[in-house]
Amino acid sequence: MMKALLFCPVRGNLRLKQYFPNHPVYLLPFANKPAIEYALDYCFLSGIREVRIISDEESSVLRARFRNGELLGMEITYGGSSPTRSLKQVVQQNRAFCRGSGLLVLSGLFLPEYDKRNPRPLSIGSDEMKGCSYGDGSTAWYLIGADRLNALPSDWSGFRDDSPVCGAPVPDIADYYRHNMRLAGSDIEKYNLPGFSEGRNSYVGCDVLIPRSARVKPPVILGNGIQFGHGVFAGPNIIVGDNCMIDDGTTVRDSIVLGNTFIGRNLEIEGKICCGNRIIDPESGVCIDVSNESVASCMEPDEYTGCPVYQRLLAFLLLLLQTLPYVLLRPFLEFHATLAECLMSDGRKRTMALHGYVLPRESLAGRLFRRLSLDKYHFLPFAVAGKLRLVGNCLLESTERNMQFVRDLPGYAPGVFSYSEYLGHENEPFQLELDEQYYEHVMDCWFNIKILTGILRHNLKKRARVLQERGAME
């Protein structure tokens, strides 16, 4: 079985980085999916299960994103490198990882060519080497046989190969735009893209609000938490990232709108890249920073991660149902409260009082209280008001470890009930993190309702047991 070495040099992508100074280059989205994930997908579809990612700047960012690769079905390790090292030196620096099998080397920012519907395992003779490099050599791919690793040539520039591994390099903003339009159009079915397929040439994420007066013309790729205004005309060939808003009467076609971007009303956006308050013409390379926030602006990452309307209605109904039993049982239970700081999004923190329920002895009131899920009662007004979700991510205290984890979940929105609670993993930190990452990818309305009904039903069926001291947030 082959291994893969992904080299991520930032020095070869400075022309592209100048347009997106706040985006790590290798997490720059192509069709709402980070660039390096296409390389990881290609590795997996090619039968590769051991990958090492090497970077001269972004290794900690990539490590936080992909961790050990378990969620991707592979083993991922990491390493650093000096910006002055050549690709051959990087391979030699990691020879302990590379030895024992054939090696795929992908260097720089480009999109590998593959078709998820027809995966093809890679193979190379033990003493063979083939590949291709582009530009200054920082963008390249090579296949190296196991025996050839012990005798690497000094000059790699002579290799020229046009096989499908070659992929498509992304040296500048025009190529970035072109490849995104290709993904949104003719190649949309070939790749694993985020969201749910809504017919041919259309992918749509969660919590997308499109009024009846708006028109969406495929092909389109829409992320999570998007809101279109009345009379919006979107498409064809548009990509809109997570947590964006396009205001009334605006037309967007043949364009890319990166995440957390607001586009004002009655505008016409065609053939452009919009990133916050920055509008880029990919053909000329002209970049304009708009000072008028009513035209274009950067939204806070948590601007539209509040509680959806259907969850607020369910929270209100649950609040009504629980009020009478809560009032009847409350006098028989002892409470005390402590203050704790809780994470409410990936970018903001909010202080809330934590109530610790202390049940000193086994009692009928205590059993009923837990089985009726009344320990969540004081959360419900927050869900009705839209400050918490009824079902969302696990609510976490503001510790350094939790803050780092939440930064890796761009759509983090805590809820009264969570997928981790549904699985019973609230007290298992490592498993909880895996659960939350999985929930980010699969959450939708029906999945959330399944979580809610599952937790309520499970609590009702619990047998009598001694209730240990535990905390609940209010």
Which domains are present in the chain?
A: 3-170 (3.90.550.10), 196-298 (2.160.10), 309-473 (no CATH)
CA distance 414 to 392: 5
Q: Given this model, what pLDDT does residue 471 score?
A: 40
Query: Given pLDDT bands bounded at 50, 70 and 90, which one contains residue 348?
Result: very low
- Model confidence pTM above 0.75: no
CA distance 52 to 76: 6
CA quadruple 92, 95, 97, 101: dihedral positive or negative?
positive
What is the average per-residue pLDDT within 205-211? Answer: 88
Q: For residues 471 and 195, which has the higher predicted lDDT (pLDDT)?
A: 195
Q: Which of 254-268, 318-332, 372-386 has the highest mean pLDDT?
A: 254-268
Q: Is the pLDDT of residue 31 over 60?
A: yes
Q: In 34-121, where does DSSP find H-type helix?
A: 35-45, 59-66, 87-93, 95-98
DSSP letters for 269-311: EES-EEETTEEE-TTT--EEE---TTTEEEPPTTTT-S--HHH
What is the pLDDT of the chain when averaged over all its residues? 83
CA distance 92 to 89: 5
Name which of 168, 161, 171, 172 is nearest 187 in CA terms. Answer: 168
Q: Given this model, what pLDDT does residue 408 score?
A: 65
What is the average per-residue pLDDT within 175-197? Answer: 85
Q: Given this model, what pLDDT does residue 207 score?
A: 81
Q: For residues 381 and 339, which has the higher predicted lDDT (pLDDT)?
A: 381
Q: Is the pLDDT of residue 172 over 80?
A: yes
Query: Given pLDDT bands bounded at 50, 70 and 90, which one contains residue 306?
Result: low
Residue with token string 């498409």: 235
Min mean pLDDT across 82-96, 111-125, 245-259, 350-364 is at 350-364
C-alpha distance from residue 405 to each of 165, 295, 442 (Å): 34, 33, 18
Q: Is the pLDDT of residue 304 over 80?
A: no
Q: Is the pLDDT of residue 5 over 90?
A: yes
Helix axes of 400-407 and 429-442: crossing angle, nearest 10 degrees: 20
pLDDT digits (tens, 9 = 90+) for 235-294: 899 999 998 999 999 999 999 999 999 999 999 999 999 999 999 999 999 999 998 888
Query: Given pLDDT bands bounded at 50, 70 and 90, which one contains residue 139?
Result: confident
Q: For residues 336 and 162, which has the higher predicted lDDT (pLDDT)?
A: 162
CA gyration radius, the chain: 25
Q: Is 415 helix (H, G, I), strand (E, B) or coil?
A: strand
Name which of 65, 76, 26 is nearest 433 in CA terms. Answer: 65
Token pair for 68: 């050990």
Q: For residues 335 and 176, which has the higher predicted lDDT (pLDDT)?
A: 176
pLDDT digits (tens, 9 = 90+) for 444-461: 788 889 999 999 988 887
